[in-house]
Amino acid sequence: MGQAQGRPLPLAGVRVLDISQVMAGPYACMLLGDLGADVVKIEPPGTGDQTRGSMGFKMKGADSLGFLNMNRNKRSIVLDLKSEAGKSVLLRLVRDADILIENYRPGAMRRLGLGYEALREINPRLVYTSISGFGQTGPWSDRPGFDLMAQAMSGVMSVTGYPDSPPVKAGVPVADIGCALFAIYATLAAYIGARDTGQGQYVDAALFDSAMAFSVWDICDYWGTGQPPQPLGTANKMTAPYQAMASSDGHFVMGANNQKLWVQLCTLMGREELLQDARFSTIALRLAHRAELQDELEKTFRQKPKDHWVETLLANGIPAGPILSYPEAFGSEHAQARRMRMEIDHPVEGRVPNIGFAVKLSGTPQQVRRHPPLLGEHTAEVLEELGIGGEEQARLRAQGALGT
């Protein structure tokens, strides 16, 4: 509908310089591109973004499917920022940029003469966002930071898995994706402010901080009781029963997470005696006797298959669901209706699958305007927009600005 009405995407006209690699930075910049921003991905000569060569299987071309899923709606140029000529080109790009996002090790951009203090002299309204493992300040700031380290050192891994099991990380990169989302909300807020004041600002986003921000229930439990929270498997520290349960043919999830639903569940299962059991009479007591509660409920759940219980519970207003693999989830009717898998035309790969847009806008729906770029695909195009013609491009190449 938004396209039919001719309305521009919300970030149309916003220029973003993406000087990031791997996940949090590229993912954040892709989200801005999905919303209409002109994202110029600045990559080092040779390999470009490290993710181009990642994953354990090959595509037709040199780029991994992971790269193709984090870099749509961007243009790629190659710049050697270690060369004076390459830095000079970046400075020209900065003049008209609105946002710069980078994820070099803390202090690296400043040592190159490309830190926030230097660039705001060229463009005072620039919003400069740095993404790192542990932030720009603090005793851990100079450590290399990846999702695994952030999960481990933020406390996330201490509550993931089952009691007495070896350490387990969250199955998805919660620190990377969480940091990307936190970085985007702060970056866009700073951009809105800069439009009114003409003054940009520096955004310091850390995987460590972002992972800790997810700890609301767990850290409040500790602050309130003085007891460090422990892993609970699929269970929940706020209410019970609210977890995976075993049936006759596998597990499913369910949640009778308030007193009304608890009464409904016991009645539906024909287990009214549980309503009289002193161990289970309140949420607090059910939490204190979670293991016994699970045992009692699974005596009944194990009598029939998981699909029966999911359908029965849902039909009676009790939340429940199957535990799906990724192929099952993406292949489900609901995921298809929500368009959570889409295909993008690519000049080398043909049609490539991409994860769909996680939120939907009614008036200006996100669009795939550009395929994930080949390395340096738009170098000449972007330079020409800066007024750098063929002769000067050749000179910059000879000076090492554009690689070989």
Residues 6+ apart with CB under 8 A from 396: 85, 86, 89, 383, 388, 402
**CB of 137 closer than 8 Å to CB of 56:** no
For residue 47, what are the CA distances in angstroms to 39, 50, 253, 397, 399?
A: 20, 7, 44, 17, 19
Q: Within 10 Å of residue 45's Cβ, how many Cβ atoms?
A: 19
**Of the residues 49, 80, 176, 218, which is catalytic?**
176
CA distance 237 to 284: 10
Q: Is 176 a catalytic residue?
A: yes
Find the distance separating the first CA and the last CA of the chain, reported in whole Å: 45
Strand ranges in 215-340 using DSSP code E only, listed in sequence order: 242-247, 250-255, 320-322
The b-or-e profile of 316-340 (16+ CB within 10 A means b, else e) is eebebeeeeeeeeeeeeeeeeeeeb
Residues taking part in catalysis: 176
